[in-house]
Amino acid sequence: MEKQVISTTAAPGAIGPYSQGIGLGDLVFTSGQLGLVPETGELADGVEAQAAQALRNVAAVLEAAGSGLDKVIKTTVFLKDMNDFAKVNEVYGTFFTAPYPARSAVEVARLPKDGLVEIEVIALRS
């Protein structure tokens, strides 16, 4: 199988030597998406807004790959502060429906651009 680079202007561009996403066969792997607003390149204000924007960015990358949030099988959520877990979880729950994807959530020391949350996913294309 050959890797396919996934790219879209509907999500923030990569800020380093990586792709927004990679397709491999029936799978799509997104890079971590911050709560950056694509039009401005600025972080949304607050953890809930950043979580929602991060998930909209993930959705845009998945759409460019021929997938969608309904085909996500695994998510990883990186939080600057685990005390924000409940707030992020509430936002997260508005983007996914049962059966929910498998998920990990971890607190990290720091995120790029001093973001409060970053989300990456693995999804099916078919």
Q: Which phi and psi (to 5°) does residue 119 adopt?
A: -135, 135
Q: Please compute the mean of the pLDDT values over residues 99-116 and round it to a whole number.
A: 97
Render pLDDT for 13-24 as a digit per residue (tens, 0 to 9). 988 899 999 999
Q: Calculate what percentage of the chain has a pLDDT beyond 70.
A: 100
Computed over every residue of the chain, the mean pLDDT equals 97
Q: What is the pLDDT of residue 4?
A: 97
Render pLDDT for 91-100 as a digit per residue (tens, 0 to 9). 999 999 999 9
Interatomic CA distance for residues 72 and 100, integer angstroms: 8
Q: Please compute the mean of the pLDDT values over residues 109-118 and round it to a whole number.
A: 97
